[in-house]
């Protein structure tokens, strides 16, 4: 098997723009008026306390949820290309009752990748995620860390332009976390945009180019990572970084601080 670097992905579906996006379940507004833009080639970390709306935000971006208000707009207008250009790794990934290799092959078949190409992509994805030796093992008997790597391999095999990851290192030990971070940096270097949630601030510091801080369904701050970690402007984000509990009541009209000084960031 080749040890070549990860295959670069083509671009075209980004930027992704959210305009005043809200999400509602019953009479509860769970995501409120989120406006932001994701550019190609970046690594975005979405942080914030439990229940802040991070997973919902990813699902809205990925098209798994429909906004109650507002718009989720991709640069690419062809819906099939948009769907093909993205993949998601879930916090608790579902493995099929098949081998690790077959789990990846199945995902490729579902995306209509030609049979002749599938085998090579499966082998490459397994190799690049360090899973070749467990290729024929039932996916469900793999360790948690191996299963997370397999989820990433399965998503990566699709060659997405954008990869959404919902706490991919939750419950993993430091070596497993480190190896996944290394893998994500390689995927990023190959040109895939990463939009990921994490509770691990160390990890956010290591991986992020841009940080989105969420609190109670609102995007409170969207900044370049260096600037954010040097001292966020939003007081809740400051408290969060200090490890203070964020339980006090806030007024609903609070604005989001966006300190990105790039164009197109509203």
Ligand X SMILES: Nc1ncnc2c1ncn2[C@@H]1O[C@H](COP(=O)(O)OP(=O)(O)OP(=O)(O)O)[C@@H](O)[C@H]1O
Stretch that binds ligand X, among 43-51, 68-76, 130-138, 143-151 (CB under 6 A): 43-51
Sign of the Cα pseudo-torsion (186, 130, 116, 79, in order)? negative
% helix / strand / coil in the chain, to the nearest 5? 35, 25, 40
Name which of 56 and 180 has its Cβ closer to ligand X: 56
Verify binding: residue 264, ligand X, rule CB under 6 A.
no
Cα 151 → chain centroid = 12
Candidates 5, 7, 8, 51: give the one binding ligand X (CB under 6 A): 51
List, in sequence order, the alpha helices (H) in the chain: 54-62, 79-84, 100-110, 115-128, 144-156, 174-189, 201-207, 225-230, 235-242
Sign of the Cα pseudo-torsion (248, 34, 40, 54, in order)? positive
| # binding residues, ligand X (CB under 6 A) | 11
Cα(26)–Cα(48) distance, rounded to whole angstroms? 23
Candidates 55, 124, 147, 188: give the one binding ligand X (CB under 6 A): 55
Stretch that binds ligand X, among 23-31, 123-131, 136-144, 173-181 (CB under 6 A): 23-31
Verify binding: residue 52, ligand X, rule CB under 6 A.
yes
Q: Which residues contact 164 (CB under 8 A, 6 or more apart)?
A: 58, 61, 62, 86, 87, 88, 89, 195, 196
Tokens in use for 172? 């993993």
Tokens in use for 106? 């199945």
Stretch that binds ligand X, among 25-33, 106-114, 127-135, 138-146 (CB under 6 A): 25-33
Residue 228 Cβ, how far from ligand X at the closest point, in Å? 17
Verify binding: residue 50, ligand X, rule CB under 6 A.
yes
Verify binding: residue 45, ligand X, rule CB under 6 A.
no
Give the β-pairing of 28-38 and 16-25: antiparallel
- Chain positions 56 to 95 lying near ligand X, rule: CB under 6 A, are 56
Residue 241 Cβ, how far from ligand X at the closest point, in Å? 16
Stretch that binds ligand X, among 3-11, 46-54, 98-106, 122-130 (CB under 6 A): 46-54
Name which of 30 and 72 has its Cβ closer to ligand X: 30
* Cis bond before residue 15 (omega within 30° of 0): yes
Stretch that binds ligand X, among 49-57, 93-101, 105-113, 123-131 (CB under 6 A): 49-57
Cα(60)–Cα(22) distance, rounded to whole angstroms? 9
Candidates 53, 85, 160, 168: give the one binding ligand X (CB under 6 A): 53
Verify binding: residue 32, ligand X, rule CB under 6 A.
no
- Interface ranges with ligand X (CB under 6 A): 25, 28, 30, 48, 50-56
């Amino acid at each position: 098997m080749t040890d070549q670097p990860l295959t670069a992905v083509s671009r075209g579906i980004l930027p992704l723009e959210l305009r005043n996006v809200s999400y509602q379940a019953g009479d509860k507004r769970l995501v409120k008026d989120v406006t932001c833009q994701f550019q190609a080639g970046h690594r975005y970390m979405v942080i914030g306390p439990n229940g802040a709306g991070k997973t919902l935000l990813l699902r809205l971006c990925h098209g798994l949820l429909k906004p109650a208000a507002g718009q989720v707009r991709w640069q690419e207008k062809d819906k099939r290309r948009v769907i093909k250009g993205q993949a998601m790794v879930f916090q608790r990934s579902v493995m099929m009752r098949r081998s690790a290799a077959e789990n990846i092959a199945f995902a490729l078949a579902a995306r209509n990748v030609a049979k002749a190409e599938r085998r090579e992509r499966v082998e490459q994805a397994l190799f690049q995620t360090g899973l070749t030796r467990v290729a024929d093992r039932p996916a469900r008997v793999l360790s948690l860390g191996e299963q997370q790597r397999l989820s990433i391999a399965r998503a990566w095999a699709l060659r997405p332009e954008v990869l959404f990851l919902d706490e991919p290192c939750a419950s993993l030990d430091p070596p497993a976390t480190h190896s996944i971070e290394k893998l994500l940096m390689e995927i990023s270097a190959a040109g895939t945009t990463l939009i990921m949630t994490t509770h691990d601030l160390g990890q956010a510091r290591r991986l992020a180019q841009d940080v989105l801080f969420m609190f109670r369904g609102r995007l409170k701050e969207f900044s370049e990572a260096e600037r954010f970690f040097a001292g966020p402007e939003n007081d809740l984000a400051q408290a969060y970084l200090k490890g203070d509990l964020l339980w006090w009541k806030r007024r609903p009209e609070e604005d989001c601080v966006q300190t990105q000084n790039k164009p197109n960031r509203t």
